[in-house]
Structure 1
């Protein structure tokens, strides 16, 4: 029998932990170097991170209206279904469940495994074994109930944030003269390049990515208006944290040093605490990957469950444990698919990782559609009670749509310039959407 604690609704603290946990991943340990290399001065670098936080904040305001007006475990699937119909929503859910979510779990599993192997190797296939262990254990925890998964997320997020705070502390320690590295080299300012700024912005926004997943737990909160506060608090906290971490990198390495660094966090901790800091970095990145895996599992299975509720042919995914507030079939199915991808990744890790990364245009396409859905739902369902309304409507939603369109264009440009197996990588996203269209046709031949 499930304990009351396992079935109690979630609080705003849980929503913040899930949001922050899914956003902070391995990106904050790599993206700052790429951003620093794309701008001429530190001022421009910090300006890009502030702009990324503002864009995420605008998006959070839009999602806050949708999530409070239409609370659902289906999140974006539910918004798209109400605005554009089940067909468009199915294409989104298919892309998310078949590649984006399960592929992300597998890839994050390999990141976790790679760094755990530095701490405790498990033999020839150590990375894959650690990935599989994390996938199975976290699935088991989440099957116990949404409360169990959310509490685990709270602890993991605390460890993850603590690791980033350690980087800031290392910079402060270095600043008072306890470090052993030379002072940061001075960088001669160069001209501002719009292309460089755009390139840097792509990586800033990717590092902020994931805040939207809070929408999937809107129906599990004690107060549905709390999702708006959770989104706003999460984005503001993340912006402040990212600025502090980038200040730490810059204060120790300088802009040129950041741009040249292949492992910027390692370089900072080594400068402050000596060469033994490598183990700390391995633990920090492993914790970040584990936190993102858990949050991705929580929200990913909910999309699949919502899909099963709408389409009889996929009803196996719809099974819902009301007592525990979890999709009892979608979670283990998601686990099995992720494990299969981990096995695939053992042989084709590089190509497999590229395949998942090349679906980015599909993600940004549907992100743009969610922004447009806000306008459409205001038009066709304007009389509905809205506990939270986007301020400065329609300016802020239009800005969110414009930023999503920019990211779609940028990701298309990147994917189009890549090759995978001798073919243009743009065909990966086309293939995912085409397979979704086949599924849609098959689903529509099934009697509702």
Structure 2
């Protein structure tokens, strides 16, 4: 973001606060790859294998999840270039269905996707950092939570300071995670091709669980591993030449990730048996201990950096979503403000920090992954329904990228089916998530109550002023009145 100065008829200089387009194609690819290749490839192999029960079917699920997420990304490319505003899926649902469905999307991201995903990533970061220190015993839960909290506080500080710093950090972290994956792939291929370790691939589909419920739950581990492709849409307002760079960034990133994931899973299975993978709390660390000798310490360090990229990219992108939601008066006003000096949405970033700290106390990483997956599938269902409806509601709107209508219809049906199957397979988690959405709707109707008593209005205004003074933040100028650079 930046400040610009304009001059009125009385030669009085007025400072305008606007968002500047400064995220390039390289930054865009780094942000997407940096978010996607995080904890997923180092954790999700266990989650998918646990559900589908066989090596062959787990590899098929990796490909299917990759294809599904790529098709979703193509649909998002149409939406992102048709409605080139920061805010991503929240803006698309609002354009199609109005305020209440848009708020549900915002609330799901606020409670079930953003902080839950970051908390799981932070705990995985701690797990990989601390596992070499506690090789033969359980890691103290307090230590896990403390390290997780510290690393995310550092990332929030970077994002509050400067968006360029956050983007540069993402480029460096992306390089580290690609190095970690390259090591796994090279070693794994040596074991398979050079040493002939192929017994794990014999009778690859034996014992497969083809039940629809098992497939749906395994999709959540796939969602986790591939999640991140949609986050660049939240930053469209800051992306240079979005009509060209958004689809390019999505396609480059997804192709790179799918190929890398499939080869990495094959490499894992060239060294570790399915049973060893299921018993390992940190698959890549076990892989490194088995193959890297005295250099085994390098693997957890590189993976921890990789997970940091997921947290950094999520905070960078999601803070813009909540910022836009507050500008649309669906979140508290102070979340629509930006730092007066650094021009970053620091109030939204700090709210993400507080929510994440609450979830970090959780002991079950896979529970967090499944909760986030349910929320994400629910949002996708609304997005694709909205995309189909917009074709009839606004048929003449310019669409620089236009997909066949059959694609969003198919993705809507698949996403809806996954949500429905989850209620059957995981009723406790599903109804818990549904209850959180109901609480959000209750708060929405209270927040949009126009005839609030003066005492309540005064207290809300006083609180917003207090936040402004504490954080030195101000409301941005209306972006619609500004020529984007």
User: Do the structures match in fold with TM over 0.5?
Assistant: yes
- Bigger CA drift: 58-67 or 257-266? 257-266
Cα distance per residue 1:204-256 (max 9 Å; x no partner): 34422231112111111110121111111111111011011012123334667
Equivalences for residues 280-359 of structure 1 within 5 A: 280-311=298-329, 314-320=332-338, 326-342=344-360, 345=361, 349-350=362-363, 354=367, 357-358=370-371
Q: Does 1:194 align with 2:205?
A: no
Q: For 1:354 and 1:41, how far apart are their aligned partners in 2? A: 22
- Bigger CA drift: 33-42 or 434-443? 33-42
- Give yes or no for contact 1:361–1:412 (8 Å, CA) kept in 2: no
Aligned counterpart, 1:401: 412
Aligned counterpart, 1:158: 175
3-state DSSP class of the match of 1:73?
coil
**Which of the two has higher C-alpha Rg?**
2
Aligned counterpart, 2:258: 239
Q: Does 1:444 align with 2:448?
A: yes
Aligned counterpart, 2:232: 214
Aligned residue pairs, count: 430
- Give yes or no for contact 1:37–1:258 (8 Å, CA) kept in 2: no
Structure-1-length-normalised TM-score: 0.84
Aligned counterpart, 2:107: 94
Aligned counterpart, 1:419: none
Cα distance per residue 1:57-92 (max 9 Å; x no partner): 111110000011112221111111111111111122
Aligned counterpart, 1:85: 98
- Give yes or no for contact 1:184–1:252 (8 Å, CA) kept in 2: no
Structure 1 residue runs of 5 or longer lacking an equivalent are 417-423
Structure-2-length-normalised TM-score: 0.78
Q: Does 1:57 align with 2:52?
A: no
Q: For 1:39 and 1:124, how far apart are their aligned partners in 2? A: 30
Q: Does 1:130 align with 2:147?
A: yes
- Bigger CA drift: 88-97 or 355-364? 355-364
Structure 2 residue runs of 5 or longer lacking an equivalent are 5-18, 453-485
Cα distance per residue 1:171-190 (max 9 Å; x no partner): 234356589xx764564353
- Give yes or no for contact 2:122–2:308 (8 Å, CA) kept in 1: yes
Q: For 1:237 and 1:329, how far apart are their aligned partners in 2? A: 34
Aligned counterpart, 2:271: 252
- Give yes or no for contact 2:108–2:379 (8 Å, CA) kept in 1: no
Aligned counterpart, 1:421: none
- Give yes or no for contact 1:36–1:256 (8 Å, CA) kept in 2: no
Cα distance per residue 1:151-186 (max 9 Å; x no partner): 11111111112111110111234356589xx76456
Q: For 1:249 and 1:283, how far apart are their aligned partners in 2? A: 18
Please give the root-mean-square deviation of Cα atoms over the aligned residues, in Å: 3.4
Aligned counterpart, 1:385: 398
Q: Does 1:11 align with 2:24?
A: yes
- Give yes or no for contact 1:53–1:208 (8 Å, CA) kept in 2: yes
- Give yes or no for contact 2:112–2:371 (8 Å, CA) kept in 1: no
